[in-house]
Amino acid sequence: MEMTTALWSFALVVGLLTLTPGLDTALILRTSALGHRRQAWGVVLGIQTGTLFWGTLTSAGVTALLTASQLAYEVLRWAGAAYLVWMGVGMLRASVKAKAEGKAEGKGAGEAEAEAKGAAPADGGMAAGWRRGTLTNLLNPKVGVFYVAMLPQFIPAGAPHFAAGVALTCVHVLEGLVWSTALVGFAQVLRGWLNRPVARRVMDRVTGLVVVGFGVKLALAD
């Protein structure tokens, strides 16, 4: 009974966290809205892979090093900030490049064909999305610190620590998959409008600024 209560309580807490708009939401919406459906699902699976990784390490007691070692936290924090800024700047550069190509005379055959079909040019497949989602999650030390602070509080006394921790983490992963499915579906509904060149550039710029903002915030965080 105690474990069941813990599962429901943890599900409520991480459910509210999952529904809060953030970096994960921006990446999923942007990738799916631009027509990269397979890559969007790769991002979703990558994010949940990172979540499962953090939860498993916390259950094993490994991520306690993040709170015990200032150096370990700082190294991971700066690596994550650099990666987010690099990824966001890449999106901004892509939007500028797409605008310049749109103004140039005679678009490439591949781009013209993609626009004629109402689809965005290829931007990698599921593997590329998985790498992006996984790195975004794993290079954010705040996720690890969150699990260190929250997960032990929901493990009932006397329960196997590792097994109970992994079970709670799976609840978070399941909720993340359900919410991500809704996000992908919502983006697909708007795909016809968002697939227009102007809309794609705006989406890249907005998402790029959001990602860079998260990177700067992570770098400046105490």
Q: What is the domain partition of the chain in residue ranges?
A: 2-9+24-80+105-199
Give the per-residue pLDDT at 188: 81
User: How close are the terminal C-alpha atoms of the chain, in Å?
Assistant: 39
pLDDT tens for 126-176 read 999 999 999 999 988 888 888 888 888 898 888 898 999 999 999 999 999
- Whether residue 113 is predicted with pLDDT greater than 60 in this model: the reply is no
Give the per-residue pLDDT at 104: 55
* Residue 101 tokens, joined: 């190509």
Give the helix/strand (H/E) hosting 112.
helix 109-116
Distance CA 138, CA 46 (A): 10
Q: What is the DSSP string of 8-76?
A: HHHHHHHHHHHHS--HHHHHHHHHHHTT-HHHHHHHHHHHHHHHHHHHHHHHTTTTHHHHH-HHHHHHH
Beta-carbon contacts of 214 under 8 Å, excluding residues fewer than 6 positions away, are 22, 23, 84, 88
Give the per-residue pLDDT at 6: 86
Mean pLDDT for the stretch of residues 192-196: 69
pLDDT tens for 20-51 read 888 888 889 888 887 788 999 999 999 999 99
* The model's pTM: 0.78
Burial call 69-93: b when 16+ CB within 10 Å, e when fewer: eeeebeebbebbbebbbebbeebbe
Q: Please answer whether residues 87 and 132 qualify as being in contact, where contact means their C-beta atoms are separated by less than 8 angstroms.
A: yes
Distance CA 196, CA 177 (A): 28
- Whether residue 5 is predicted with pLDDT greater than 90 in this model: the reply is no
